[in-house]
Chain A
Amino acid sequence: DQQVKQNSPSLSVQEGRISILNCDYTNSMFDYFLWYKKYPAEGPTFLISISSIKDKNEDGRFTVFLNKSAKHLSLHIVPSQPGDSAVYFCAASEGTSGSRLTFGEGTQLTVNP
């Protein structure tokens, strides 16, 4: 099942700089996209979401961009902080499928002090 793909297994950035995490999808029926953050031995924590009717959503240091024509979304974290170090998952759902989430593989973000 490759409907949601995160091609970078890891990303390392310096504290204070921008982190950009990318996600691609193939299912054109997806209409709601989410980013989750996960620490070891914990469940995914919701960060931010975007509906397919928008191309940008912002919440504090987190901004999600959606490019529907490219079937691509990205999460920008500015400025990055060491506490942001975690695995980040993108997920998608179809409105008709009762909110079932399809997850990407995850990207391990490391923010170095």
Chain B
Amino acid sequence: KAGVTQTPRYLIKTRGQQVTLSCSPISGHRSVSWYQQTPGQGLQFLFEYFSETQRNKGNFPGRFSGRQFSNSRSEMNVSTLELGDSALYLCASSRLDRSSYNSPLHFGNGTRLTVT
């Protein structure tokens, strides 16, 4: 079974630009979560989608948005990029076939975003 696939692996953008990251979950997984990872900050939850609906959102500004398609693939968008947005963005999928948030997460390799 293929794992979680994130594209692209690396991105370099300039302040003020916008960026779109993509995530394809494991086949059969309907939940997709996004996390931001920065050195010393651990993982910060961005948002989680299930059946095309955003179920939860972390404490990030509205510049960060996402969506999920009918095939469970998800995209994350960051508009008006700031230097502080430089980070590794991880996507994770889970089966979530019952009450929420109690399933193991399967992470992708991440997209490393550098904002200059």
A complexed with B = no
Q: Which residues of A contact B (CB under 8 A)?
A: none
Q: Which residues of B contact A (CB under 8 A)?
A: none
